[in-house]
């Protein structure tokens, strides 16, 4: 059973890597949310450094998955785990991109004319971050209730995004001299919304991983526990 034990250690190691990457991405999102509320050059720099680390982690995880598939012939839950690991690493990398984008936009605004944030923006950022944390919890525990919560929160991020857009568009119409800053703000809002969407995609992936159920386009099929 030595070979199997080695295989299980590899799987455990891969799982730890995903969790570590999730933690790094969580910090990037936290910086983004903080940057939107109170932009600073320091936050921008830290976000850039984190993003480099996230990209490197994705490559390592992907490579590890390829190696396990090639050498170990994983089957059933092991195969689902590897497939999910690759998908989640890709989703996390995209979250990292969006988080860095938010930090970049916030920095731009800070360096130019400060503009008023939509009232819903802070809540949108916090909710997107909470969804990401919960989806990573679901990855570790397979808790269907947590997954359901993430999925149920997604329409709220949509509503908040629309409210932010409406607010920004109104300000753009009122003050054309700050149209560039508002455009950056608009894109920051869009990125935060997409972080929420990606968190939901991760939660959906965890259902496949733990329950062998594809719910991506059919949330009603999520088994009640």
Residues that bind another protein (CB under 8 A): 4, 7, 73-80, 212
Whichever of 69 and 172 has its CB closer to another protein, that residue is 69
Nearest approach, Cβ of 76 to another protein (angstroms)? 5
Nearest approach, Cβ of 69 to another protein (angstroms)? 12
Return left, alpha or beta for 142; rule: phi > 0 is left, psi -120 to 50 is alpha, else beta: left
Q: Are 27 and 50 in contact (CB under 8 A)?
A: yes
What does the alpha-carbon distance between residue 141 and residue 18 come to, in Å, rounded to a whole number?
13
**Cα dist from 33 to 16, 81, 105, whole Å:** 26, 31, 11
Tell me whether residue 70 is exposed, middle or buried, using C-beta atoms within 10 angstroms of its C-beta: 0 to 12, 13 to 18, 19 or more.
exposed
Nearest approach, Cβ of 54 to another protein (angstroms)? 31
Nearest approach, Cβ of 16 to another protein (angstroms)? 20
Whichever of 80 and 171 has its CB closer to another protein, that residue is 80
What does the alpha-carbon distance between residue 206 and residue 77 come to, in Å, rounded to a whole number?
12
Q: Which of 48, 49, 68, 53 is nearest to 22 (CA)?
A: 53
Whichever of 13 and 152 has its CB closer to another protein, that residue is 13
Q: Are 82 and 65 in contact (CB under 8 A)?
A: yes
Whichever of 7 and 165 has its CB closer to another protein, that residue is 7
Whichever of 14 and 57 has its CB closer to another protein, that residue is 14
Nearest approach, Cβ of 111 to another protein (angstroms)? 52
């Amino acid at each position: 059973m030595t070979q199997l034990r080695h295989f299980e250690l590899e799987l455990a190691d891969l799982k730890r890597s995903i969790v570590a990457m999730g933690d790094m991405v969580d910090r990037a999102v936290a910086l983004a949310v903080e940057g939107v509320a109170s932009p600073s050059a320091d936050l921008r720099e830290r976000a850039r450094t984190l993003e480099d680390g996230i990209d490197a982690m994705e490559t390592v995880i992907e490579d590890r998955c390829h190696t396990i598939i090639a050498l170990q012939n994983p089957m059933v839950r092991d195969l689902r785990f590897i497939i999910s690991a690759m998908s989640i690493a890709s989703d996390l990398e995209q979250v990292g991109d969006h988080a860095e984008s938010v930090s970049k936009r916030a920095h731009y605004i800070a360096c130019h004319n400060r503009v008023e944030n939509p009232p819903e923006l802070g809540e949108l950022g916090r909710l997107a971050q909470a969804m990401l944390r919960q989806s990573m919890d679901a990855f570790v525990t397979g808790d269907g209730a947590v997954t359901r919560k993430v999925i149920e929160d997604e329409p709220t991020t949509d509503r908040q995004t629309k409210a932010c857009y409406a607010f920004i568009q109104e300000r753009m119409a009122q003050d054309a001299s700050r149209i560039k800053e508002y455009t950056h703000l608009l894109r920051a809002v869009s990125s935060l919304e997409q972080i929420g969407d990606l968190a939901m995609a991760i939660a959906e992936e965890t259902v496949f991983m733990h329950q062998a159920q594809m719910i991506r386009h059919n949330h009603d099929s999520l088994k009640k526990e």
